[in-house]
Structure 1
Amino acid sequence: MTTHQALFLSSTTTPPTLQKLPKPTATAGTAIVRVLAVTVVPYMNEILSGVRPYPLSFPLIPGGTAIARIDSVGPDSVSLKPGQLVFCDVTIRARDDPDVQILLGIHGGGYPAAQRLMDGEWRNATWAEFAKFPLENLYAINENVVCNDLGYSVEELTTLAICAVPFGGLSAVRVGPGDSVIIAPATGYYGGAAVTVAMAMGCRVIAAGRNKARLDALATVYGETGRLISVLLTGDEETDSAALKSATRSPKGADAYIDFSPPQAGKSTHIVAALGALRPKGNAVFMGGIPGRIEIPYSMLMFKNLTIQGRFMFERKDVEKLIRYVENGILQLGQDIGMMNFRSFGLKEWENAVNAAKEQKGWGSQVLLRP
């Protein structure tokens, strides 16, 4: 096969078109994968239309994190082999400066060094039958254990794409069994995944949000463990902070707070409320999508010796550990964690997929492209 089908995006003013393109070939340091399923994030319509003005290099093949099978490998591959089932990470890092990074087919970084990655070698992503990846962005999955013994489908394995993001943040603040973690908001696409991951890490989880029905849905999945406490936010900082701190069962407060605020939450009160519920020397990690500035209580941070950090995606070691969590039964997938609804579409149905992803409300649903 010398050609393959792919969705080609020329600009944000015209929709992607399905085209027959040359099949990519493996070179040193790379592999070609046969794409099995690609996650479609809820805001993909905004990326394609330019409503979210992410830096992109046109023309390109859009994409997302995928589950795939190795088709061919470059001459320097020593571990990956054709036929292996793999998790494909779209976080592309420059090999001579790993701090320079892009999201393949989604975000070009927005500064010259990062944009160079997307302008050149890493322009095309996974909305296609075949895709090229750096060897270090592919993670072998023990198919015999995960699919045959544990019974997970390819669709269920795509849950790894959502869970890897909060796992990166929670690993960065080094939480573990017995620690208490505030997750706010906890009912969204990544916030709900953070609940799932923190529970698997052995934490006591304080899930906060404004939607009681969605908090109740999380409680249905994890309520019997006794480690998930829901807090319905009121919008009053002092009231909410007191409720969050009380839920930790510690007079000093929570060990960590992970934030997945959406773009429109820049003026929300939950961030300050959660920071106020942290113990002295507690940690906060921001992973949300607020584009502008937020107000932080300076003196509280200083006197409590709090640490706040941003976390973009995750490290390779995080994905390797997360896959081990699944293979060893520590992190479950599918219905066992409330992921009840998988919707799959072909490449020709990309518009239906994007619209379905836009309509999905919070944790529990996953929209996929199946080339």
Structure 2
Amino acid sequence: MRAAVLERFGAPLTLLDRAAPELGLGEVLVDVVATGVLPYADEVFSGERRYALTLPVVPGLGAVGRVRATGPDATHLAVGDAVLVDPTIRSRDGGPTPDITLQGWSGRGPGGLALQRRWGDGSFAEQLRAPTENAIPLGLLADDELDLWCALVVCLVPYGGLRAGALQPGETVLVSGATGNYGSGAVAVALAMGARTVVCPGRNTAVLDDLVRRFGDRVRPVVLTGEEDVDRAAMQAAAPGPVDLVLDLLPPEAPATVARAAAMTVREYGRVVLMGGVGMLGGDDLALPYPWIMRNSVTVRGQWMYLPDEARRLVELVHAGLLDLSQWAVTGFPLEQVNDAVAHAAADGGRFSLTVVRPSAS
């Protein structure tokens, strides 16, 4: 099969002929129809993000495609079924604290790197091997409908955060980082889950205006000034009532003051979920005040990715008509142009702009 390979950080991806992956017990082989390219993929491949990847590797985070083969322990999947391949792979012997690797993208700790020995290669290839439980059925879909379903790989991250924050219908959510790739997806997902209002702070007024155009007055934009106290007051004033839940999805380059201003808008007994990258590449810590957390009975929790069953739940939100994937505009590239796809995603990706690679169309 053909695959795009990252041989060393800082080098372009190389298109190579590789042996097709061999099917093992508890695994599924998928013919990749489309795979999304995240806007910061170039930062991962350059080494700037310092992601833990065992090189050489076929990168690529998640995919949609068709089942090529299954093992003898699969009883529901059939050859030809359309599936979403969930890239979050968990060790099966870890109990409540499994090791995790993001297939073709990054590992968490030594255990995550150990999982890469079997499931390191990702989706920039004609075929993809994954644990059977990571192949999520999508229903009766034609190949030309599958591109849009790559948006679920982006939506799954904020969905996991909103579920971790126990979002209830009718509540007010503040998405810190709402103008980014994951943040704009969070706005769509929060509304699909029944949020009354989503407060959307950001500096880019054009993107904020676009969020209002897409979703109407359930979105409350706030233009940030960089003054922490001023911004906090503006975010609280934009909400129709107390802020029940804050979801932080700010990127690594964002200052901690922006994340703190957003987090401290939450009401007494409110919840704050941290999923972004603040401080990952250096810089100040979040430094939320102990007395504020304690006296206001605020719950602050981190959330990396999402729980195993949440990919299936998100698929059902789409089928129910609550999450509209047509919000995303798709630009597709064949596998031969994978480096062009990475450059396009960096320049034009994110914020409902989906860059995909189509290995089977090459």
Q: TM-score, normalised by structure 1?
A: 0.91
Q: Does 1:205 align with 2:204?
A: no
Aligned-partner Cα distance in 2 for 1:33–1:275: 41
**C-alpha deviation, 1:177, in angstroms:** 1.0
Aligned to 2:138: 141
Aligned-partner Cα distance in 1 for 2:277–2:65: 28
Structure 1 residues 276 and 9: CA distance shift in structure 2, 3 A: closer
Aligned to 1:100: 99
* Mapping of residues 29-108 of structure 1, within 5 Å: 29-97=26-94, 99-108=98-107
Aligned to 1:241: 232
Aligned length: 352
Aligned to 1:116: 114
Secondary structure of 1:143's counterpart equals coil
Aligned-partner Cα distance in 2 for 1:24–1:357: 28
Q: Does 1:23 align with 2:20?
A: yes
Paired residues of 2:62 and 2:122 also in contact (CA < 8 A): no
Gaps of 5+ in 2: none
Aligned-partner Cα distance in 2 for 1:58–1:128: 16
Secondary structure of 1:352's counterpart equals helix
Identity, in percent, stands at: 35
Aligned-partner Cα distance in 2 for 1:124–1:272: 37
Q: 1:255 aligns with which of 244, 250, 270?
A: 244
| Residues 231-274 of structure 1: CA deviation (Å, up to 9, x unaligned) | 11122222222222222222xx200000111111134x322222
**C-alpha deviation, 1:66, in angstroms:** 0.7
Q: Which amino acid aligns with 1:307?
A: T
Secondary structure of 2:72's counterpart equals coil
Aligned-partner Cα distance in 2 for 1:241–1:123: 42
**C-alpha deviation, 1:318, in angstroms:** 1.4
| Residues 64-89 of structure 1: CA deviation (Å, up to 9, x unaligned) | 11111000001111111111000111
Structure 1 residues 274 and 74: CA distance shift in structure 2, 3 A: same
Q: Which amino acid aligns with 1:236?
A: E
Deviating above 3 A after TM superposition, structure 1's stretches of 4 or more consecutive aligned residues are none
Q: Does 1:264 align with 2:253?
A: yes
Over aligned residue pairs, what C-alpha RMSD do you find? Answer: 1.6
| Residues 139-159 of structure 1: CA deviation (Å, up to 9, x unaligned) | 001125xx69xxx82121111
Gaps of 5+ in 1: none
Q: Which amino acid aligns with 2:224?
A: L
Aligned-partner Cα distance in 1 for 2:20–2:260: 50
**C-alpha deviation, 1:13, in angstroms:** 4.4
Secondary structure of 2:118's counterpart equals coil
Q: TM-score, normalised by structure 2?
A: 0.93
Secondary structure of 2:344's counterpart equals helix
**C-alpha deviation, 1:288, in angstroms:** 0.9
